[in-house]
Amino acid sequence: MFELLLEIFSEEIPARMQVRAGQDLVKAMDAGLKAAGLSPKDSHALTGPRRLTYVTQVELRSPDVSEERKGPRVGSPERALEGFMRGAGITDISQAETRSDKKGEYYVAVLQSEGRDTSDILTALIPEVMTGFSWPKSMKSGDSDFRWVRPLRGLTVLLDGQSLDGITVGGITSDAMVHGHRQMGPGPFPVTTLADYRAALETDGHVMIYRSARRARVLEQAKAACAEAGLELVEDEGLLDEVTGLVEWPVALLGDMDPTFLELPDEVIRLTLKSHQKTFTVRDADGNLAPNFVIMANLETPDNGATIKAGNAKVISARLSDARFFQQQDRQKNLIDYYDQLDEVVFHKKLGSVRDKADRVAALAREIAPHVGADPDLAEQAAKLAKCDLVTQTVIEATSLQGQVGRWMYEAEGGNPDIAVAIEDHYKPQGPSDAVPTNPVAIAVALADKIDTLVGFWAIGEKPTGSKDPFALRRAALGVVRLILSRNLASNLNFFAMLSFYHLNAQFPDDDRMASFVHKLGGVGDLWKIVGHAKADNSFDAFSALGDGFSKTIVDTLLSFLLDRLRVYLRDQGQRHDVIDAVIAQGGDDLLAISQRVEALGAFLSNADGENLVQGYKRAANILRAERKKGKLDLASFDTLSGFTADPAAALAKALANTRPSIDAALNSGDYPAALSSLADLREPIDAFFEDVVVNSDDPDERARRLALLSAVVETFHQIADFSRLDG
């Protein structure tokens, strides 16, 4: 095996893309070499700010290959022989060999393909791999149509100690010269082997080509720079990875800032240093932020970095001054004083201003509060305060601080601590891995905010379609699901959704779109009466009195959207899709109950008893389905639970009679596992029934009674879940 090295040299590659590009390059080159009959070994990539390098061990020539192609029988018509010869690339049938089998003789063409030099393979492969390379974003440069992540500047291909010159891609031709650090060792340096390459770049070239070594150097230097001053680095893996992709020759420098900036919230300082300056935060021996930062420079200078430190300090100081200026401006008023200003910010033109939204959320949070153990007054107040920071300068400048800024301001005013938490946490959870709020006030506001968003966009017909979800409604729905499940909230989502819709309509009584929408629902006057009644009670029960017209249009489609998120969520938790479907098919809008049922049913089915029971159910259901196909079954006229003589049918009827009340009772009290375990009592009688009883009795009356019995069995199963949706 011989050493192969391919360096693709370009202008600066975005830090976040380098590692993936290295993996993709290895994959594509390995695949190409293998397809050409070679067997690359120990392939790996070196990645950095300006280069992507592939290194492997490979043969110098692909092996000769002999392939046999079976042809027609000897004596076949001329046309068949011609086709065979054309396909095999031979000109006369005498060039084929003949073989024989039981049926007689047939032709075989033996195709010899000669191996190719690896250098020739590479000459074709490299342009193909690079032209087909997929970057998250790529560009053209100058007048060329070749696309790369940034302009391509050099290409070096070394095979077995020799440079393969003259391979051209995107206007760049390969040669033996590589380029080092732009300032400290530009070169170019002639290289023919990996050892040369490494030696040239890592010494005179001042480029650390191995990413892991560079990363270790960054960390070690950053820590050392802090330790020297008796400080400690605040480690940050993400930032460390990014910085490793920004420097070829890491040089850590500890910089200072004006200590008065430390009066800013830590998060503001950290965010400023990290996201704007790619600079590490530093803490003192007590664990408090220190007025310092670690810069990772890419240059050694005659003044040991003094100029670089001073420059960075100046920029950081300017950024933090801005942050402080904004904070001072913001704090000239109390948080609630920004409430009216929210009216100038449009949430969505059909759904009013952010203040309109906050009003609705406040009303809804008040109503949700008792169901999640929160104080309604606090929830209402928190909802009003929650959006106020959106118009502060600090948040306008750094949107990712929304919620946090409101909380800081409110805490500084000495506000209620639950409200303070709710202001920050009401945006959560933002995604599948974001923490779910635990404070009841925060939960009330978080639910109300998300439900209002969902109901609002549903009402104006802005539902997500396909991959398009501009208002992040899937995320909002997943947020609702996670809030309810992780906080064990028994919920009646339809009720909440309807209250939310009520508040929306109350805000836009004269709005044409709303009016026409409401009109479609029909019987609006009655609707409001019922809603008003439900609101007064704040009870779930009143809701059930609502007519179908309303629920069918908005609540049902929204509920099924939420149930879709629930499906995804439960599957991510490892639940079986058929179990989820079987439970959801039973209806209901209590996500917690659905989730608990899925869990219980999943556990139940994972043991042999459960599986047998399902087999029994399926058998019963299949017989009924087959009978229904034959003709109309009129089962209702039979008293299914009596009239059997002493046989397994009678035993099953008796078991059913005993089991049904206990299942009803368990379901009524919400004890799903108990319902399942009662159901399990039917396993033996069902098995015995199928063992000994032939349903299709000659006596039509007996046959009908037995079918009715099976029907009762199936119905009983369906009380618990739609077992017909289970696989297997």
Partner 1 sequence: MTKTVAKPASFQDFILALQIYWSQQGCAILQPFDTEVGAGTLHPATVLRSLGPKPWNVAYVQPSRRPADGRYGENPNRLQHYYQFQVIMKPNPVNLQELYLGSLDAIGIDRTMHDIRFVEDDWENPTVGAWGLGWEVWCDGMEVSQYTYFQQVGGLDVDLVSGELTYGLERLAMYVFGVDNVYDLPFNAPGTPHSLTYGDVFHQNEVEQSTYNFEYANTDNVLKRFEFAEEECKALLALDTPLPLPAYEHALKASHNFNILDARGVVSPTQRQEYIKRVRDLAKGCAQSWVEGEKARAEGASA
* Closest CB 617 distance from partner 1, rounded Å: 51
- Contact range with partner 1 by CB under 8 A, out of 136-144, 378-386, 446-454, 601-609: 136-144
* Closest CB 254 distance from partner 1, rounded Å: 14
Q: Which of 25, 85, 88, 149 binds partner 1 (CB under 8 A)?
A: 149
Q: Which of 39, 43, 341, 539 binds partner 1 (CB under 8 A)?
A: 341
With both helix axes pointing from N to C terminus, report the angle between 18-35 and 118-131 in degrees, rounded to the nearest 10.
Answer: 140
Determine contact, residues 457/339, Cβ cutoff 8 Å: no
Q: Which of 151, 464, 523, 673 binds partner 1 (CB under 8 A)?
A: 151
Cα 393 from Cα 672, distance rounded (Å): 52
Question: 358 vs 613, which CB is nearer to partner 1?
Answer: 358
Determine contact, residues 538/367, Cβ cutoff 8 Å: yes
Question: 73 vs 153, which CB is nearer to partner 1?
Answer: 153
* Closest CB 623 distance from partner 1, rounded Å: 58
Cα 147 from Cα 140, distance rounded (Å): 5
Note the Cα 386 to chain centre separation in Å: 27
Q: Which of 43, 277, 486, 538 binds partner 1 (CB under 8 A)?
A: 277
Q: How many C-beta atoms lie closer than 10 Å to residue 462's C-beta?
A: 16
Q: Which of 116, 348, 475, 535 binds partner 1 (CB under 8 A)?
A: 348
DSSP string, 149-179: SS-EEEEEEEETTEE-TT-EETTEE--SEE-
Question: 107 vs 148, which CB is nearer to partner 1?
Answer: 148
Question: 321 vs 438, which CB is nearer to partner 1?
Answer: 321
Window 376-435: residues binding partner 1 (CB under 8 A): 391, 396
* Closest CB 364 distance from partner 1, rounded Å: 21
* Closest CB 53 distance from partner 1, rounded Å: 19
* Closest CB 253 distance from partner 1, rounded Å: 9
Tokens, residue 376: 């309604």
Alpha-helix residue ranges (DSSP H) falling in 669-699:
672-680, 683-692
Q: Which of 61, 116, 150, 576 binds partner 1 (CB under 8 A)?
A: 150
The amino acid present at 683, given as its one-letter code, is R
Torsion angle of the four alpha carbons 704, 705, 708, 714, in this order, in degrees rounded to the nearest 10:
-120
Residues 6+ apart with CB under 8 A from 2: 57, 58, 59, 60, 118, 159, 160
Bridge partners (DSSP) listed for residue 99: 106
Q: Which of 124, 346, 435, 545 binds partner 1 (CB under 8 A)?
A: 346
The torsion region of residue 359 among left (phi > 0), alpha (psi -120 to 50) and beta comes to: alpha
* Closest CB 416 distance from partner 1, rounded Å: 28
Question: 198 vs 309, which CB is nearer to partner 1?
Answer: 309
Question: 174 vs 491, which CB is nearer to partner 1?
Answer: 174
DSSP-derived letter for residue 274 is I
With both helix axes pointing from N to C terminus, report the angle between 672-680 and 591-605 in degrees, rounded to the nearest 10.
Answer: 30
Positive or negative torsion for Cα 603, 604, 605, 611? positive
Residues 6+ apart with CB under 8 A from 32: 121, 125, 128, 129
**Taking CB under 8 A as the rule, does residue 141 contact partner 1?**
yes
Determine contact, residues 2/121, Cβ cutoff 8 Å: no
Q: How many C-beta atoms lie closer than 10 Å to residue 341's C-beta?
A: 16
Letter string b/e over residues 19-58, b meaning 16 or more CB atoms within 10 A of that residue's CB: eebbebbbebbbebbeebbbebeebebbbbbbbbbbbbeb
Q: Which of 12, 67, 105, 220 binds partner 1 (CB under 8 A)?
A: 12
Question: 90 vs 297, which CB is nearer to partner 1?
Answer: 297
Q: How many C-beta atoms lie closer than 10 Å to residue 628's C-beta?
A: 12
Q: Which of 2, 16, 104, 203 binds partner 1 (CB under 8 A)?
A: 16
Number of chain positions touching partner 1 (CB under 8 A): 52
Question: 143 vs 263, which CB is nearer to partner 1?
Answer: 143
Residues 6+ apart with CB under 8 A from 162: 192
* Closest CB 532 distance from partner 1, rounded Å: 31
DSSP-derived letter for residue 433 is T
The amino acid present at 430, given as its one-letter code, is Q
**Taking CB under 8 A as the rule, does residue 143 contact partner 1?**
yes
* Closest CB 313 distance from partner 1, rounded Å: 9
- Contact range with partner 1 by CB under 8 A, out of 342-350, 379-387, 481-489, 694-702: 342-350
* Closest CB 13 distance from partner 1, rounded Å: 8
Q: How many C-beta atoms lie closer than 10 Å to residue 66's C-beta?
A: 9
Question: 206 vs 371, which CB is nearer to partner 1?
Answer: 206
Window 233-262: residues binding partner 1 (CB under 8 A): 246
- Contact range with partner 1 by CB under 8 A, out of 67-75, 340-348, 408-416, 534-542: 340-348
Window 53-112: residues binding partner 1 (CB under 8 A): none
Question: 2 vs 325, which CB is nearer to partner 1?
Answer: 325
Q: Helix, strand or coil for residue 113? A: strand
**Taking CB under 8 A as the rule, does residue 344 contact partner 1?**
yes
Strands, sheet with 232-233, edge to edge from the N-terminal-most edge strand: 232-233, 280-283, 289-297, 251-256
- In the stretch 278-317, what mask flags binding to partner 1 with x, by CB under 8 A? xx---------------x-xxx-xxx---xx-xxx-xxx-
* Closest CB 55 distance from partner 1, rounded Å: 25
* Closest CB 309 distance from partner 1, rounded Å: 8
Q: Which of 119, 123, 334, 353 binds partner 1 (CB under 8 A)?
A: 353
**Taking CB under 8 A as the rule, does residue 588 contact partner 1?**
no
Question: 252 vs 714, which CB is nearer to partner 1?
Answer: 252
* Closest CB 355 distance from partner 1, rounded Å: 11
Window 544-573: residues binding partner 1 (CB under 8 A): none
- Contact range with partner 1 by CB under 8 A, out of 8-16, 365-373, 549-557, 711-719: 8-16
Cα 710 from Cα 582, distance rounded (Å): 20
Q: Which of 4, 5, 6, 15 binds partner 1 (CB under 8 A)?
A: 15
Determine contact, residues 179/154, Cβ cutoff 8 Å: yes
Cα 160 from Cα 69, distance rounded (Å): 36
Binding site for partner 1 (CB under 8 A): 11-12, 14-16, 137-143, 149-151, 153, 182-183, 246, 277-279, 295, 297-299, 301-303, 307-308, 310-312, 314-316, 318, 321-322, 325, 341, 344-349, 353-354, 391, 396
